[in-house]
Structure 1
Amino acid sequence: MIGGTMLADYLVNAFATLFVTIDPVGLAPMFLAVTAGATPAVRKRVAVRAVLIGGGILFLFLVAGKNLLGALGISVPAFQIAGGLLLLMIAVEMVFEKRNRRKSETAEKAVAHHDDLHDVAVFPLAIPLIAGPAAISAVILLSSQAPDTISVLGLASVIGVIVATCYLSFLLADRIERLLGDTAAMVITRLLGVLLAALSVQFIADGVIALIAAANA
């Protein structure tokens, strides 16, 4: 069992990584876009379905992620490097305002091709806006770094908090969009992008060190 300070550091790192990767606040405009014209009751049902599906996918990879890597013959350090590189790409998109544009295009496609609002709960809200490749990679990466069962349970709690934040963001989408405005949203996105870039570089460095240590063992 790891000490309280190490556990706290692990959970803070996990929360920061997943919060920046999923960006619950940034999902509010996307939610408004794909549920345009819907009543508050319908929007609430769509929000519930989206977070349940998205959260379920993340929990699935939390539980089965390590076994999946083992079945594919992928070492944890190798996945750390790959996951870190993927998160770094997301961070670069955030800093240069490309990620929000891509999310908006995904939302527009969903509106154009889906007449049933319940369909947009699955795509694009649950997948890929909540449980996208970067979020899934982050969950597997963080679970592979968990030193004991308590840490894994803590990570599960962090995922639950992030998913609950997504739900709250959906419910308050109108207020969030009015409160932030375009300029504030842009500044926050870029700051979070820099933070994610630093975290992803740390993941890559840890993976490289682990690979070197394994090669010299």
Structure 2
Amino acid sequence: MFDILLTGFVTLFVILDPLGLIPLFLALTPGATVAERRMTAMRASVIAFAILALFALTGPAVLDGLGITLGAFRVAGGLFLFWIGFELVFEKRNERKGRSAERAVDDPDAADIAAFPLAIPLMAGPGAISAVILLAGNLPGVVGKLGLLLVITVAMLVTFACLAVAYRLDHFLGATGRAVISRLLGVLLAALAVQFVADGVAALAASSFAA
């Protein structure tokens, strides 16, 4: 189970992409003090954790209720995660996230950027939700669910830590450092996504032969 949890953490960390969130976070909090930014980052992390934890606990049951097998979802989810990895490698994902951030800044009715767009969809977006549902299917039972919640907690704590010192990290890494790291993480996510697809195809083939 440790291997699954480690793979889950890496997958979730890459999808959350806390280093890629830093310039967007700074753009969303212009003129804010360090304490205000940390409070915003904490609120966004808590909201994102609640959303991901909800899907981690209920996702498999929802799939079962809809008649969707875990193998089929692994194939679909793996393809979706592969696309996210593709976007990271070619720097398309930050452009899409940047458009969401710009809409929030330009919206006079946006009451709380911690909830939107930080928590949703920049942190707990479709990719992260798909990942936790995939992981939940591989971690049945109470112990498995507790392990998955621990993985989500650690991933969100790391994300919060990066956002809490966003200005310093942004100055230290620079645009080049962020681009290099994002590309490396994108390749890693693409490889993990291919494994999800392969596992899904194997499960579908096994169920077909069993039938």
TM-score (normalizing by structure 1):
0.92
The aligned residue for residue 59 of structure 1 is 53
Bigger Cα displacement from structure 2, 26-35 vs 129-138: 26-35
- Does 1:24 pair with 2:21? no
Shift of 1:109: 1.5
Q: Which amino acid aligns with 1:136?
A: I
- Does 1:203 pair with 2:196? yes
Closer/same/farther in 2, CA of residues 181 and 80 from structure 1, 3 Å limit = same
- Does 1:36 pair with 2:60? no
Q: Which amino acid aligns with 1:13?
A: T
Query: Any idea what the Cα deviations from partners look like across 1:141-161, whole Å, max 9, x if unmatched?
Result: 011011443232111111001
How is 1:100-119 mapped onto 2 (pairs within 5 angstroms)?
A: 100-114=94-108, 119=112
- Does 1:133 pair with 2:126? yes
Q: Which amino acid aligns with 1:189?
A: S
Aligned residues: 210
Bigger Cα displacement from structure 2, 27-36 vs 84-93: 27-36
C-alpha distance in 2 between matches for 1:39 and 1:97: 29
Bigger Cα displacement from structure 2, 41-50 vs 23-32: 41-50
Q: Would you say the 8 A contact 1:106–1:124 is kept in 2?
A: yes
Q: Which amino acid aligns with 1:144?
A: G
C-alpha distance in 2 between matches for 1:31 and 1:106: 12
Q: Tell me the SS of whatever aligns to 2:113.
A: helix
Shift of 1:89: 0.6
The aligned residue for residue 97 of structure 1 is 91
Q: Would you say the 8 A contact 1:114–1:120 is kept in 2?
A: no
Q: Tell me the SS of whatever aligns to 1:25.
A: helix
State, as a whole percentage, how many aligned pairs show the same letter: 53
Q: Would you say the 8 A contact 2:57–2:145 is kept in 1?
A: no
C-alpha distance in 2 between matches for 1:119 and 1:51: 13
Q: Which amino acid aligns with 2:124?
A: A
C-alpha distance in 2 between matches for 1:125 and 1:138: 18
Q: Tell me the SS of whatever aligns to 1:36.
A: coil
TM-score (normalizing by structure 2):
0.95
Closer/same/farther in 2, CA of residues 12 and 86 from structure 1, 3 Å limit = same
C-alpha distance in 2 between matches for 1:76 and 1:17: 18
Q: Tell me the SS of whatever aligns to 2:40.
A: helix
C-alpha distance in 1 between matches for 2:3 and 2:13: 15
Q: Which amino acid aligns with 2:3?
A: D
Q: Tell me the SS of whatever aligns to 1:97.
A: coil
Q: Which amino acid aligns with 1:171?
A: A
Q: Which amino acid aligns with 2:22?
A: A
The aligned residue for residue 158 of structure 1 is 151
Give the alignment's Cα RMSD to 1 decimal: 1.3
- Does 1:123 pair with 2:116? yes
